[in-house]
Structure 1
């Protein structure tokens, strides 16, 4: 039989083995002291009350009872809460009983409901916010260092978190250069220099053989991006793609003449891409941002004249137009003739006169659904810029081309320049609009006519400078089925020249601001000729008018001799 002191020196495993040899049943989970007491009681030896090892004497004041802390994870704010379970004052700890009886085991709960346990419940009644504060001093255990870390790591429901990384300064090559700044800000010039500086490395990364200078008229699409049309405003495989970001950044509009560096089209690419923009409408890209809007310009009456006849161009048709339907900058003019041949001849003569006489005018001839031989004829007769679609093209393509030509004229006028837009066949242009309605009936006529006359509505002269002049030719034989389009065009036109036998038909020709455009001698000449021709037979008027004009080269010479000639004709 072992004594109590010998049992104290044995481990728990040795005690269990010894109890098994002696036939003593030791339940699981029993403490060592209780195991010793049960062995002594079973062997008939006296039980020592203080069987637990005595604590060493403390010379100083007794050490405080260690404070137990409970960490509780809260789902509300994901912050851990640590609280302390402090012993209640006034209650002394009971002594350990001499003989430990086995604790009754609670019956298992019914179903899946967990058993209710009050352990740690006190921590919920008195929560304290966790902070990285040093923990209260604890008495170090035997064999453990007395040094305790004063700081606790940051803990949340997912465990200790690493410290946030230190913010490092962004290198210069990664900084955002195109920051949004005010136009009046002094940093604008710095931003421009930065854009030029940071554009060069992007190009250096590409081979010089893969870059070329491209230029074309911008056509924007509904998705925001666009293309530079490089071939007569028409789509082609040589067009250059322009991204929506470039259009927004440089505030580009449809019809702008944009130039810049583009990469060569590869075998797998459908179009070339614009790398960066160098010019817009002949100006620096950055300087062109502050420009006027076409709709914000102030429109005025026509007061500046556009002369068609001269000593080099002495055609009677041009001289008759200068007398009875003078053209001014910003005019909306219709030229009516009975057949298409007469309208083509009239437009060809006007185009030749404008291209040869007016060097400071941007003139464009738009020929919708034209005959190929007519296109060749007009291009050989004058140096005017011709934009055309043949009759075998679709209506949608003709519509897009007309809109682009109109927008291009507006962009040039916004820069303070004069633009003359000639339309060879206004009836063909109006017929294109029929494809945009469900049927050509009366309710849709006004809507289609509105679309057609938008190109006439672009004509105006501005107080700030610049003008758009539109001269459209109409063949009466082509509008017999749809006369409403002609009436609608006449309602917005401020000048009209009706051609018959190669000359202007005086009673049916007019210009609203005729008195402002003609000189005093020209007004007297026009009035005298009109009064004289009114007295002649209607069938002979045009013949007599043609004979009078062909006897002189200019209207000024005719004004000097008109009195003597009229006297001879009357006598």
Structure 2
């Protein structure tokens, strides 16, 4: 919402005529001036993402402010929510009405757009859970040139499709953050049709800053100095936002770092009274599993892809339990290897442990045959030797296409 300096001056004069400001100095007059400005915004339009309250109303949050709760957030009453069947995460545009009395929020008086459609058009759309989920078939290409090799390796050995539910299994200091940044850069360059969200939970503040400076997509962060409740709120709102885009035919990718810290947050917020080994509440994994499980592609169009990191070898029994709970729930896994990173081999991917289910839907028959031949030859080596050999060989070719053509030629000759 924009307010011109001319309108501010007009509101100041109006407040003076009403007898509130002419008796006060400029500082004391400020609350009256702000109220006058708020009252003048009745004809202003606003746009924001809906966050629902358990009591049946909602507020519009600003993505530019990291969806923070603010005193200027616009109130959305239950009549509008009910009339247009609005769900959390939907983007709304409409006319704002000034507060009825002091201390109340601005309120949304009229809806003009819901997810870029008219309200009537939106009412005819089916919800996320009513659409038909199918296996990923449309590939997300990661290769952007000779470098980085990590993206070329993933393109061959762990191909990603729109709607993929991928787990990046990461011990400490194995290049997880760099891999996420490279993924974001590749997607931004190769797939402008994808809406990219990078969701950082319980991350160090300096890491959040680095991500925001490096990545062109929307970085949504609840850093380690924020509360557990804020971690949970932002994670839920981000996934719901992605669902609203996907159910209207959009393509979305969430890079989540990390699923482990998100599960820890839900564990702190759970109080069922029953705990598993490692101190994990028996109900704590329910919501994180639903969030991770939201990834899918729809037969009707639209997709939500989730690539999430899971932390292992941290010395925590709870972290190991969290990993075991998520292991096998995805349809793609990239396993990072500490032995490779210690030898300064990048990407530090364990080839034998990494892969994509039903990769035949993403790779053509010729490419799949050559990738299988490559895997068979590398399986005879130790994991560290396999990646070292692959990096050395791929580095000789400017592209995966040229590398695969050489494998095909070798296949013909033998």
How does the TM-score come out when normalised to structure 1?
Answer: 0.60
Structure-2 residue corresponding to 1:401: 234
Residue 492 (1) aligns with residue 329 (2): yes
Among 551, 556, 563, the alignment partner of 2:401 is 556
Structure-1 residue corresponding to 2:381: 536
Where does the alignment leave 5 or more consecutive residues of structure 2 unmatched?
1-37
Between the aligned partners of 2:303 and 2:58, the Cα distance in structure 1 is: 27
Structure-2 residue corresponding to 1:509: 354
Aligned partner of residue 241 in structure 2, secondary structure: helix
Query: Does the 8 Å contact 1:262/1:272 carry over to 2?
Result: yes
Query: Does the 8 Å contact 2:295/2:303 carry over to 1?
Result: yes
Between the aligned partners of 1:537 and 1:247, the Cα distance in structure 2 is: 58
Between the aligned partners of 2:212 and 2:286, the Cα distance in structure 1 is: 31
Query: Does the 8 Å contact 2:274/2:282 carry over to 1?
Result: no
Query: Does the 8 Å contact 2:139/2:160 carry over to 1?
Result: yes
After superposition, the Cα gap between the structure-2 partners of 1:216 and 1:259, relative to the gap in structure 1 and judged at 3 Å, is same
After superposition, the Cα gap between the structure-2 partners of 1:563 and 1:505, relative to the gap in structure 1 and judged at 3 Å, is same
Superposed CA deviations along residues 81-120 of structure 1, whole A, max 9, x for unmatched, are xxxxxxxxxxxxxxxxxxxxxxxxxxxxxxxxxxxxxxxx
Determine which structure has greater relative contact order: mean sequence separation of CA pairs < 8 Å that are 6+ residues apart, divided by chain length: 2
**Deviation of the 1:317 alpha carbon:** 0.9
Q: How does 1:15-414 map to 2 (within 5 A)?
A: 210-230=42-62, 231-263=65-97, 268-311=102-145, 314-339=147-172, 342-414=175-247
Query: Does the 8 Å contact 2:61/2:73 carry over to 1?
Result: yes
Between the aligned partners of 1:462 and 1:521, the Cα distance in structure 2 is: 27
Aligned partner of residue 278 in structure 1, secondary structure: strand
Superposed CA deviations along residues 113-160 of structure 1, whole A, max 9, x for unmatched, are xxxxxxxxxxxxxxxxxxxxxxxxxxxxxxxxxxxxxxxxxxxxxxxx
Query: Does the 8 Å contact 1:343/1:424 carry over to 2?
Result: no
**Deviation of the 1:498 alpha carbon:** 1.0
Residue 419 (1) aligns with residue 286 (2): no
Aligned partner of residue 491 in structure 1, secondary structure: coil
Between the aligned partners of 2:393 and 2:123, the Cα distance in structure 1 is: 54
**Deviation of the 1:522 alpha carbon:** 2.4
Structure-2 residue corresponding to 1:462: 298
Between the aligned partners of 1:384 and 1:218, the Cα distance in structure 2 is: 20
Between the aligned partners of 1:536 and 1:245, the Cα distance in structure 2 is: 65
**Deviation of the 1:315 alpha carbon:** 1.2
Between the aligned partners of 1:300 and 1:538, the Cα distance in structure 2 is: 33
After superposition, the Cα gap between the structure-2 partners of 1:404 and 1:478, relative to the gap in structure 1 and judged at 3 Å, is farther
**Deviation of the 1:208 alpha carbon:** 5.6
After superposition, the Cα gap between the structure-2 partners of 1:270 and 1:428, relative to the gap in structure 1 and judged at 3 Å, is farther
Between the aligned partners of 1:211 and 1:341, the Cα distance in structure 2 is: 54
Superposed CA deviations along residues 257-297 of structure 1, whole A, max 9, x for unmatched, are 01112146799335321121111111112221111021111
Aligned partner of residue 219 in structure 2, secondary structure: strand
**Deviation of the 1:341 alpha carbon:** 6.0
Query: Does the 8 Å contact 2:352/2:383 carry over to 1?
Result: no
**Deviation of the 1:379 alpha carbon:** 1.8
After superposition, the Cα gap between the structure-2 partners of 1:562 and 1:379, relative to the gap in structure 1 and judged at 3 Å, is same
Aligned partner of residue 87 in structure 2, secondary structure: coil
Between the aligned partners of 2:173 and 2:57, the Cα distance in structure 1 is: 39
Aligned partner of residue 375 in structure 1, secondary structure: helix
Structure number with larger C-alpha Rg: 1
Aligned partner of residue 254 in structure 1, secondary structure: coil
Between the aligned partners of 2:247 and 2:155, the Cα distance in structure 1 is: 28
How does the TM-score come out when normalised to structure 2?
Answer: 0.81
Among 522, 537, 547, the alignment partner of 2:392 is 547
Matched residue count: 363
After superposition, the Cα gap between the structure-2 partners of 1:328 and 1:479, relative to the gap in structure 1 and judged at 3 Å, is farther
Between the aligned partners of 1:236 and 1:477, the Cα distance in structure 2 is: 39
Between the aligned partners of 1:259 and 1:397, the Cα distance in structure 2 is: 25
